[in-house]
């Protein structure tokens, strides 16, 4: 409920104390709609304490065709070693923007558990598809999901590994991870083009 005085912030160093004050009050911060804000990754890559950034923002996607898939920016941060999660949100200034982007948390229906899951990345972001499971075992990444047209295993570089459906939709996929991967995450795309994004598994601690 606290408000902050407005004003132009020229550098990340100037803005960090504002984030620190918010975090000291036990609040969570998320970097929102970098596309709509015309903010390149280099303008927020040194900020500390944001738990997540927006991958999908319904309002921006509908009105400006922006912030409908910010994976490239996310991967830039992850490849720099930043531990930051990805979220989808409505930013619903209009009714037609409501209920088209959300996060699904692995938590009991209690505020404390939900906040814990958000802090720990125990959730996925979605515009439709469901991710039932995602884990790494013995150097192999495994995914299970609702019927999908494609499942991509991403690590920030190229090429990423994409599995496409054949005669029937995909509901699971596996991928043997190359040794140079520092993290892996999945993107699930359904037949309508709607996407879901897992949070990354950092392989140094997997």
Dist. CA 199–CA 194, nearest whole Å: 17
The pTM of the full predicted model, rounded to 2 decimals, is 0.86
* Domains in the chain: boundaries: 1-127, 131-192+200-206
Residue 161 pLDDT exceeds 80? yes
Q: Give the model confidence (pLDDT) of 79-109 as tens digits.
A: 999 999 999 987 666 656 555 689 999 999 9
49 or 191, which is more confident? 191
Contact, 183 vs 203, CB < 8 A?
yes
């Amino acid at each position: 409920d606290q408000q902050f005085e407005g004003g132009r912030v020229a550098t990340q160093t100037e803005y960090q104390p504002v984030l620190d004050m918010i975090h000291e009050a036990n609040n969570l911060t998320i970097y929102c709609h970098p596309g709509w804000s015309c903010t390149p990754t280099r303008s927020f890559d040194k900020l500390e304490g944001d738990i997540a950034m927006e991958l999908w923002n319904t309002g921006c996607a509908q009105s400006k065709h922006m912030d409908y898939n910010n994976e490239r920016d996310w991967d830039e941060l992850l490849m720099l070693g930043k531990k930051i999660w990805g979220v989808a949100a409505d930013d619903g200034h209009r009714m037609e923007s409501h209920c088209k982007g959300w996060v699904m948390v692995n938590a009991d229906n209690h505020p404390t558990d939900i906040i814990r899951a958000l802090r720990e990345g125990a959730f996925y972001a979605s515009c439709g598809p469901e991710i039932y499971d995602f884990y790494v075992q013995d150097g192999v990444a495994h995914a299970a999901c609702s019927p999908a047209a494609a499942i991509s295993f991403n690590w920030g570089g190229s090429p990423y590994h994409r599995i496409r459906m054949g005669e029937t939709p995909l509901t699971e996929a596996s991928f043997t991870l190359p040794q140079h991967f520092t993290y892996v995450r999945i993107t699930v795309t359904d037949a309508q083009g709607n996407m879901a994004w897992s949070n990354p598994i950092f392989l140094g601690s997997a």
